Chains A and B, each alone.
Chain A
């Protein structure tokens, strides 16, 4: 087993993504609205400045997702996405950013006809994934996946909610690696016009832990990104605002290129916002 600590993680590529500036971490559901368009969309995120990319492997019962990402999951499953196709997709992708798989535990557990997460993690390592986020896997049930990730050198990201404190926070932080996903507000995923105060409180609670903190849930503009990074986040995670662009492309029958351009341009806006926030924070720190 490797010498992992929360701070260094297992994946050098993920550690590097947080070194020397804020990380922009976009999410898209793979296969939405179909395999080929989805390849173009993920590559557009990379061109737009993604530091890590979260790739959603759709599960039929996405209990942690709001309506936007549920829509993406339905489109992708209807177009035939499966775990095997997902791995082919990852192999075919031409991107620089390290890739993290976001999915639900049953798909990980069932993969390869085995009971347990090891086969899925082995395959993920083989196609070049660097880590996992599993929204329905609490720390208490995560040891088999944690062990498999350590065996194959992958990171396991956990979500910390505004309501996570005390012993629960300890249990999560002793198992997390790569980065911690700080959920900005209660509820499910979805773009919101304001970003909650609870983010600041959550970041304060996490200050003593030496692991990158990426904030997600509700970020949709460069201005949000700026404010959140200025408030102390090491990275921002954006999903629904990007999935909205894909959904809009489906609804208005836009070309793959047009949708990809919009994804790239929102990515630039978010990345630049994050960098402004970082400059403001570090500048303020230097001038103190």
Chain B
């Protein structure tokens, strides 16, 4: 039997291991989670909860079988777990890369987008809406919607549209409409608010494909369950390759879908240390007056509050107004984080660490020129962490390469120029832009 075949059979239902049961019952993770949404959305959320339980948890009508089959045939799963030779030597421990950059679309985002668009189809919905920040979730949703023949509209902040033109074009190539959001500062959190408003008007025929493990129940558990394929595969692959579990799993964290996807399969393995790497931006200091946090380290530096349907850790001022976050990687640029991660951090199960823009850029160049893998800037934070903290880790470390860096080349040229970034090539011939 092929590896794909056995994976499909074993995984036709999501894991029933205790850690994975968390939140499924009522969307609560200790004090976090919940359903803080306008009343008009509650029936849609109840309908979605019912569909999640039937199709995802109970595999009704073979939903999970079809999901796994499409992830394999359309998405290219399973993705490899690759030993990084130079990094293993450099840090004097075994470093393995979980290659989500090799998933169709170039990032882990498709796992969730394909799952939700397929679920919408099973629910009889006729239209997909989604928000996007950097454009990665938007492009994944547009691909999944085209693949499953569903009309799709993406809300994206006007500023992000200007910063991410190639991704906007990719969405349009896949037939999606891209709606600019001009409210506020025109970034991800405004796009989420705007998509929720659309959904509040169109709930009867529309599904909102949220892009991370955030939002009201059942989104955090459902997105986790779709992304958990990352760690389910990695766990099996690690045992197959090394005969034992890893000592550490390292994953970057913005909203937290890559993080929860990378951790879910290991949460019950107490010997495996879990490290969530957040964007430390330019500094962890916040400017209350301007309402700006020049980072997006909500696990590390945030306070409990309620945003976009859930109680979680947030970047907010002392009144409770939400801050504008910032990171060199727009995919991590969000003022909140998944409620389950907030809980796992409080419980001491997950360790949050903030890595600043400079260290992330160095990580980007290091992985590119030593391993031949150009990572997304989001992912690069995990390699920035490795450089600073590898000595604290155990003998077998898995790092999730959440996405590839092609989308970030323009930003990297801009950000590398004028800084002294270790390992960067001579930038003089690129400074005119590409």
Contacts and interface: CB of A to CB of B under 8 A. Distances in A.
Contact of B43 (A62, A135, A163): A163
A234 B340 CA distance: 43
Contacts of A140: 34-35
Interface string A263-285: 00000000000000000000000
Interface residues of B, number: 36
What does DSSP make chain B's interface, helix, strand, loop or mixed? mixed
A163 B44 CA distance: 9
Contacts of A109: 305-306, 320
A115 interface: yes
B201 A188 contact: yes
Given A63-B193, A107-B319, A110-B318, A186 B35 contact: no
Nearest to A58: B321
A70 B186 CA distance: 13
B201 A141 contact: no
A193 interface: no
Contact of A164 (B42, B203, B321): B42
A137 B306 CA distance: 10
Contact of B189 (A61, A83, A159, A165): A61
Given A61-B193, A107-B320, A113-B318, A168 B200 contact: no
A105 B321 contact: no
B39 A158 contact: yes
B36 A138 contact: yes
A141 B34 contact: yes
A83 B197 CA distance: 25
B157 to A, nearest CB: 13
Contact of B306 (A65, A83, A136, A165): A136
A31 B308 CA distance: 24
Contacts of A128: none
A104 B307 CA distance: 9
Interface in A59-108: 59-67, 70, 74, 77, 82-84, 104-107
B129 to A, nearest CB: 13
B291 interface: yes
Nearest to A66: B197
Nearest to B336: A61
A161 B34 CA distance: 20
Given A59-B321, A74-B184, A164-B43, A115 B200 contact: no
B395 interface: no
B37 A60 contact: no
A64 B200 contact: yes
A168 B316 CA distance: 31
Interface string B23-45: 00000000000111111101110
A183 interface: yes
Interface string B175-209: 00000000110000100010011001111100000
A260 interface: no
Contact of B40 (A137, A165, A186): A186
A97 to B, nearest CB: 25
B316 A106 contact: yes
Nearest to A163: B43
A60 B200 contact: no
Interface of B: 34-40, 42-44, 46, 183-184, 189, 193, 196-197, 200-204, 291, 304-309, 314, 316, 318-322
7 nearest interchain CB pairs?
A110-B320, A187-B201, A161-B40, A64-B38, A163-B43, A106-B320, A106-B306
Given A64-B40, A137-B36, 14 more contacts: A60-B322, A64-B38, A67-B183, A82-B319, A84-B319, A105-B306, A106-B314, A109-B305, A136-B38, A138-B37, A141-B34, A141-B35, A161-B38, A188-B200
